[in-house]
A and B are shown apart, each in its own frame.
Chain A
Amino acid sequence: MTFDRVDVVLEIVKIALIVGLLLNVVPIMVWVERRGSALIQDRLGPNRVGPFGLIQSMADALKFILKEDVIPLQAHKWLYTIAPMFGLIPAMTTIAVVPWGRPFFIPTEIVYGPRVSGVCIIGAAILAILAIVLGGATAKYHRKPNYSKLNFTIGAIVAVSLFLGALALIGIMLGIKTAGAVHLPGGGRLFEPIIADVNVGILLIFALASLGVYGIVTAGWASSNKFSLFGGIRASAQMISYELSLALAAVSALMVAGSLRLTDIVTRQTGYFVLADTVKIPAWNCFSPAMWLSMIVFVVSAFAETNRLPFDFAEAEAELVAGYHTEYSSMKFAMFFMSEYIAMTTMSALVVTLFFGGWDVPWYNEPATVTGFLLSAIAFLAKVSFLLFVFVWVRWTIPRLKYDILMKIGWKVFLPLAVANIVLVAWFIAARWI
């Protein structure tokens, strides 16, 4: 495999984009979680900082950084410090093998025209409106009697940076207009919107996901706290059990695509199922009857694997105070928080890739151009966002199970169902029904 300087730059851009997006998912999801729970429980939720309380998460993040970092005297200092990183790194790495858009050919040059100015002006307008709304809200907030300097500063900084972004877009437009055409380095080359297109992609995901449990287990043990230890032990038992049904449920999607590579799995789902020669349905796995069982098993196991309610036995605040992170404070606690939400995002992306057609836009044949790429990336983001909302929705709707029921469901219901489903899918494939 040969690669040149442009490939390296493109790869760095992709990594920066994905890592930036993942890190930004966390504050947004915290906001969605709090507002969503408020919606479901008929309360208001955080609505003071910024419009709709949107900047609340940023204030929380700053608070995390500024809090005192306490290490208990009894704790094993090394492992106590390393545990949150052990949890966060696998969660962040997994997304590398998930494709997030239609591969497209990078145009050789950008010529000034109505389309360029349209895109730039609309983008600049959106950024400017956001900046004005935020700035206005911040200024209004300033006049309230109980305002805090911290929130005011955050609001002002974000508003100013949004405004600068709008100015930059206008600048880019003017620059292209005076230059006439801008030659892109690496133009005409195929851009694949995936960080690492490994031929064992799905196995890599399961490998890294299975390493994620060490963060929780180590944290539980290193804290020297009985509640933490219980949380850690529960987490390890739970994650081993559900990993099996998770992997077996994914096998059905792999069998249909005949590959372990996630790009192949998505490509397999880009066509149509034609019902009775008239109705066209996108060929997503979730629309084929052979997949329904495995989809249910996979999604439920994904909840268990990410330690979300109704399966959050590692935390279980009614029984274990706060479970494995009882002793943690400051940024170390924030890292556990981040790894939970990032793991959720990765799992949603995986469910979308395996069962909901990945980046495929329904009833639309994406061309291999920038437009097709953007549309498919937006479709992917929309599907992932919907699934993330489902995670929140389920958390605040379904109460926690009992621990023995959790283990019983994992071993006695989901595992046999997942195995049975493999046989079912094999039968469907042999009979050429899918």
Chain B
Amino acid sequence: MKRATPYLIFVLLAIACFSVATTLQSRVTAWNNGHDSDSVMKVLLGDGRRIFANQAFVEADVYFHAGYYPSVFDQSQAPKDTRHLTAKEGSAEEEEHERQMNFLGPPADWIERFGRHFLITEHEHLGGGKEREILPWLKLSAELDPQRIATYTVAAYWLRKELGKPAEAEQFLREGLRNNPNSYELLFELGRLYNENYHDRARARNVWDLALKRWRTQEGNKKEPDNQSLEEIAINLARAEELDGDLRNAIVHLEIAAKVSPRPDALREQITEMQRKLNSASPTPEQPRH
């Protein structure tokens, strides 16, 4: 009996532990106020995770440049926005980015000159499907900071445009929208996906309409609104409406774009052309939607 006593006590304690655990489990979930879906990152890092999210996004940019990137000592030369990540070759953004990334001046001494042989010194961007390499960092960045919109739009752009994965792009954008329900950037990107990948223009128009409403709510009263996004939304909406034969609304949206565009002349010409088509097609004007 004496030899069995410690084992019996151990079994008793184990049963007691199990009973207390089962009793407390439901209460602990209630303490958490139903927020048990928080990611491990959020639990571990708290708000400090946003700093790491930024670093993960920078890493994606480093990969995009195949290792050619300013160090912490050349940070004044680091890209300031994310537009170069989705800029087309030969575009104004791309040219500005090329100028910005010319951060390596002439070497100051023989050590630096020789050291350049062991440093990536050629500016290039990933291509031919290798853009997939930036995706893990973008995924990590989104995990760490779900409120960072650029992470979703950049990842979705490459997923649908170059990697042929529109379903994954849509899923990621929807994840972004769940975390940022009022984001006009995410809605605009979702509209592009419907239009360009699924060729579902009607759905794209609806999403862009919503994006325009969200833009007006959020940016309309700002001193320096995000006019570039407004221009993109309005132009895409106008194109879709033009293809659907809804020239009246297309003109309305092109006028919105022309007001904020840095190069409005081409848009004004298009408006005049559409106006001419509209006048020759129907003498009785319809009421525009906006």
The judgment on whether A and B are partners is no
Show the binding face of B for A, using Cβ within 8 Å.
none
